[in-house]
Structure 1
Amino acid sequence: MSTGLAPSDECSHDVVFKGLCVMCSKDVSGPVFGNSGAGATINMTVDGRILVSQKAAERLERETAERLHKERKLSLILDLDQTVIHATVDPTVGEWMNDTNNPSFPALTNVFKFVLPEAPTVYYIKLRPGTFEFLEKASKLYELHIYTMGTRNYAEAVARIIDPQRRLFNDRILSRDESGSFQEKKISRLFPGEGERMAVIVDDRGDVWGWCRNLIRIKPYDFFVGIGDINEPLGANGKAAANQLKQTGVLPATILPASSSSSESTTPEAQQEIKEDILALVATETAALTETPEVAAKHLQETLSQIQQHAIHRQEVSRPLKDRPVLHDNDTELEEIMQRLERIHREYFGMLDEEGDCDVRDVMDGLRKRVLRGCEVVLSGVVPVGFDQRRHDLYRFATIFGAGTDKVHKAVKQGGIHVVHPDWLYHTAIAWKRLPEESYRLVKEKSRPTSANASSTQTPMGSSADQSESLDDEVDEQVNIGGIDWSAMDAEIEAEMDSSDEDENEGEAVEKDDDDFDVWAEIEGAMGDLEEDEDSSDGGVDGEDGKKRKRSPSPFSSSKK
């Protein structure tokens, strides 16, 4: 029986299901149609079974936006590993769970375990404190999605733990099996049209998202100390070694694995396997230069999957947790993230009701810009020589959160400059509020005790290996850190002071730092709670007494604009 539709050499209809056009039944899965760019080319399901045209995608996105607006909801994309869970395959955890006398036993509440179909390895999953409460609250304001670099089987196993009744996520799960990437996440894989205008992301890594405007970067959950992200095959150390190999042709003598720095993981056998994995990765990336994008992506996925299996096996055998200290779990990060999500939701729908249109990215930009508004940050002694500071994480965080970075001479003329550990800026970026500079102040005296957490910023913030422990425990000691060239830093400041007299002719008054100024009271009044609006036009802030106060100098150096 005829369908009344005349076939054409190239299908241009709007919807394709499993490689067949739903209108004319043409097979469009082959190279002629699948790569032609005509008709339906946009994924609308995580498994890629349904493709639609750009026109159809835009229509579906509009319909979704209208539905969510009626429900007074936004979209929330949640990562899994080190965001709401922490995973390990170390059998030591199973032994602790079976021993009520073990000192770590009380902390093992909400530790679950499962085995995936493809291997007998037992995965131990620790839920971040407050996960169930967080998901319930968030689901009232957001439609929830999972986006993970774990496999499909892994993602579904975790989803069965955190959403056993499938009420919260349903089938809205995107894994690396569908996204095809270990190395990056794209919001367009979930929202190919204008859906990103209503989407918020919570992830412990920003680099995989390209630090997109939709992102709330959460502090990595590191319950199993030293394990890191089980779905990040090489970790920061391995990536750095791979880059060194590509640039110099030489691998470092010792490469710490992604999961642990334990002695068992640095045995000659483990080192040899890690180096072979890095060589395989670099070879795959080199071969990709002469391959089609589809073939290159397939080969890279296969190589990284093999590397991950090696890393999991090493962790299972070496048992890095057996020599670790007693486990503790006092994490409260999800409570703070929920407050931010509530604020974003409230401001979005307030603007939507008032103006008839809104972009959640503009709302998030506005909230972030208030955090360091009025600060001038000087990155002295922390950006490598010859490195473009605009590409450095610290520069990115300073500008994203509202600080100025180009009026150094004003900060220098102000005097009373705070010189602080870069952790101040990292932790401020995570917390979305300006943290007390006094807790992060650097000192030159070698006799000053070194903070146990002073090394965290040696790891890029985008990596899951980044440890942000001092965000949990208030730093009572000033931080003494090695590796800073104090003479170079002093010379840099002197140079700025010399140049400031020559180029400062703008006629703006700069307040001097008052030795009796109450920094703690000012910080509390300025940045204590994001629920308070800070839209003061003169750069000052309201204190608890309702009076205007000047801002204290920011870390590195600062002044009022």
Structure 2
Amino acid sequence: MGVVASDLSIKEERGVPELLHQLQQYPHGLETSKSSPSTCRHPAVVVNGVCYHCRQKIENKDTYGLEFSYLYMGLKLSHSEMDRLRCLGSKKQLSQKKLHLVLDIDGTLLHSFPPGEASKLGLSKNDKNTKEIDGWVVKLRPMVLEFLEKASAMFEMYLYTLGSRSYAKMIAKILDPQGVYFNNRIISRDDNPYGVYFKTLDLILGEESNILILDDNPEVWAKHLRNLILMKPFVFTGTETSDEITERNTPILGEILKLLHTIHSLFFQQEVGCRDVRDLASEVRSNVLRGCNLYMKQVKDSKLWDVAKALGGTCCSELNSSVTHLVSCKRGTKDYNWGVKKKKFLVHKRCIEEANYLWQRLPEENYRPTMTCCCW
């Protein structure tokens, strides 16, 4: 039976769920019309080269719109339809007091090991944070399942990986076996227009002003850094490191959940029309080291200077009475001795790095410089 044109009409209220429901009525694809070519401009949706509206094959299927095969295989949306669905999707989520959250997989939520590698690391299958599936062994980041449950109350969530589609779906079975958190919102490199090089919010059907990203790799989000909350990479080595001990005692995802709750609350306190998570995230971040005047002459990494400034700190390379912290000064040096005499905070550069991951000022006594290294 052919597709009735009225069934496929473009309705202002038709969102992604309704669109997918309609498409699922035709498991063998849209039947191509045998009538003479129409004057249809193919305004919204194309499935495997067939216009969703007029059921004619289109000539420019390779350059038409953007592909959303993660939602429905062969689905392409025109740019105007993407804009409409983003607006409608965000409007629906906002009415439910929800924003959008894009989650990277590896290094952010877990560390996975292909068949054969896990045995070398001594992973215990009795550990609640160790899962096995299809020969792979997956080490979950502490608190990840609780994080997903609580975050889902505030966000519509996406998984986004530069791994393969089969890998992404395998991981989703571990993180979301019932499909309640992500449903079909699982994006892989097979869906990504930039392959394995970059990620894009173009594939997220929500307004960018309502989207936050959690990822341990900022380079793949070069065009969307304002949406990014940078995660400390989660790496399991098999030998317990100080980072692993710290994270076990104070799960990073627990701290990030608090941060997300803060931004979410601030967002819905703003007036409609003025709300943007990017501005709010920047504001929250800029308060982390506010009031800290950091002497960073010994820090040669210019990126760390930028990080400190983004966290609200003031950086300098000259000692004066306004300095509050001396960063990575070697013990016994003139600078170090001055700091001791003036009762200033003397800290390792990790104090800034960790503050950047946790978005909070950390106890300076936990980051005193070592005896022999200024750790540039």
Q: Normalised by the size of structure 1, how large is the TM-score?
A: 0.51
The letter of the residue matching 2:201 is I
CA displacement 1:37-65 (0-9 Å, x = unmatched): xxx51334536722222222221111111
Shift of 1:182: 2.2
CA distance in 2, matches of 1:34, 1:96: 46
Q: Which position in structure 1 is the counterpart of 2:265? A: 346
* Mapping for residues 171-190 of structure 1, pairs under 5 Å: 171-179=184-192, 180-190=194-204
CA distance 1:157–1:57, shift in 2 (3 Å): same
CA distance in structure 1 between the partners assigned to 2:210 and 2:229 by the alignment:
14
Once the two structures are superposed, residues 356-383 of structure 1 have per-residue CA deviations (whole angstroms, 9 ceiling, x without a partner) of 5411111111111111223344542433
Higher strand share: 2
SS of residue paired to 1:414: coil
Check 1:330–1:404 CA distance in 2 against 1; reply closer, same or farther (3 A cut).
closer
User: Following the alignment from structure 1 to structure 2, what is the Cα–Cα distance between the partners of residues 419 and 426?
Assistant: 11
CA distance, structure 2, for counterparts of residue 416 and residue 78 of structure 1: 36
- Following the alignment from structure 1 to structure 2, what is the Cα–Cα distance between the partners of residues 27 and 426? 54
2:164 pairs with 1:154? no
- Give how far 1:25 is off: 3.4
Question: In the alignment, what sits opposite 2:66?
Answer: 42
What are structure 2's unaligned runs of at least 5 residues?
Answer: 1-32, 329-347
User: Alignment partner for residue 229 of structure 2, among 208, 211, 216?
Assistant: 216
Percent of pairs with identical residues: 30
SS in structure 2 at match of 1:434: coil
1:412 to 311, 315, 320: 320
Distance 1:357-1:96 versus aligned 2 partners, 3 A rule: closer
Structure-2 residue corresponding to 1:108: 127
1:415 and 1:153 map into 2 onto residues whose CA distance is 53
1:349 offset after TM fit, Å? 0.8
Mapping 1:111-510, distance limit 5 Å: 111-115=130-134, 122-179=135-192, 180-191=194-205, 195-210=207-222, 212-222=225-235, 224-225=236-237, 324=239, 329-330=248-249, 332-351=251-270, 354-383=271-300, 389=302, 392=303, 394-405=304-315, 412=320, 414=322, 418-420=326-328, 421-442=348-369, 448=371, 480-481=372-373
- Tell me, in whole angstroms, the C-alpha distance in 1 between the residues paired with 2:119 and 2:103: 27
Q: How far does the alpha carbon of each residue in 1:199-238 deviate from its partner, in whole angstroms, 9 at most, with x for none?
A: 111122222212611111222222x21xxxxxxxxxxxxx
Which amino acid is the alignment partner of residue 167 of structure 2? Answer: Y
Q: Which residue, 101, 105, 112 being the options, matches 1:87?
A: 112
Match of 1:21 among 32, 38, 51: 51
Partner Cα distance (2:350, 2:86) in 1: 40
Instruction: Give the superposition deviation at 1:335.
Output: 1.0
CA distance in 2, matches of 1:90, 1:220: 22
- Give the aligned residue type for 2:220: V
Q: Relative to structure 1, is the Cα distance of residues 106 and 482 closer, same or farther in structure 2, using a 3 angstrom cutoff?
A: farther
One-letter code aligned to 1:368: R
Q: CA deviation at 1:94?
A: 4.7
- Corresponding position: 1:6 with 2:6: no
Distance (whole Å) between structure 1 residues aligned to residue 215 and residue 233 of structure 2: 8
Higher relative contact order (CA 8 A, sep 6+): 1
- Provide the rounded CA distance (Å) in 2 between the counterparts of 1:19 and 1:482: 61
Contact 1:76 1:142 in 2 (8 A): yes
CA distance in structure 1 between the partners assigned to 2:110 and 2:219 by the alignment: 19
How much has 1:402 moved relative to structure 2?
Answer: 2.0
Q: RMSD of the alignment, in Å?
A: 3.1
Instruction: Tell me: CA distance 1:18–1:110, structure 2 relative to 1, closer, same or farther (3 Å).
Output: same
Q: Is the 8 A contact 1:7 1:24 kept in 2?
A: no
1:70 to 71, 91, 95: 95
* Cα 1:129–1:33 shift into 2, 3 Å: closer
Is there any run of 5+ residues in structure 1 with no aligned partner, and where? 98-103, 116-121, 226-320, 449-479, 485-561
Deviation sequence 1:259-279 (CA, Å, 0-9, x none):
xxxxxxxxxxxxxxxxxxxxx
> What is the alpha-carbon distance in structure 2 between the residues aligned to residue 325 and residue 344 of structure 1?
33
Conserved? CA contact 1:74–1:143, under 8 Å: yes
| SS in structure 1 at match of 2:55 | coil
Maintained 8 Å contact 2:327/2:349: no
- Cα drift, residue 347 of structure 1: 0.8
- 1:503 corresponds in structure 2 to none
In 1, Cα distance between equivalents of 2:180 and 2:320: 56
What SS does structure 1 have at the residue aligned with 2:57?
coil
Q: Which amino acid aligns with 1:181?
A: G
Alignment check: 8 A CA contact 2:110 2:234 kept: yes
Q: Is the 8 A contact 1:108 1:126 kept in 2?
A: no
C-alpha distance in 1 between matches for 2:166 and 2:61: 31
User: How far is the alpha carbon of 1:330 from its aligned partner?
Assistant: 4.2
Note the alpha carbon deviations across 1:441-467, whole angstroms, 9 max, x for none: 436xxxx3xxxxxxxxxxxxxxxxxxx
Deviation for aligned residue 1:129: 2.0
Task: Indicate the structure (1 or 2) with the bigger Cα radius of gyration.
Answer: 1
Cα offset for 1:143? 0.7
C-alpha spacing 1:17/1:431, structure 2 compared with 1 (3 Å)? same
Secondary structure at the aligned position of 1:418 is classed as strand
Question: Cα gap change, 1:416/1:150 in structure 2, threshold over 3 Å: closer, same or farther?
Answer: closer
Q: Which residue of 2 aligns with 1:52?
A: 77
Cα distance in 2 for partners of 1:73, 1:136 equals 14
What is the aligned residue count?
318
**How far did residue 2 of structure 1 move?**
7.8
Q: Is the 8 A contact 1:378 1:408 kept in 2?
A: yes
Instruction: Give the deviation of 1:436 after TM superposition.
Output: 3.3
Contact 1:217-1:430 at 8 Å conserved across structures:
yes
Q: 2:115 and 2:80 mapped to 1: Cα distance? A: 49
Question: Matches of 2:254 and 2:323 in 1, distance apart?
Answer: 38
Change (3 A) 1:414 1:51: same
Letter in 2 for 1:184: F
Shift of 1:395: 3.0
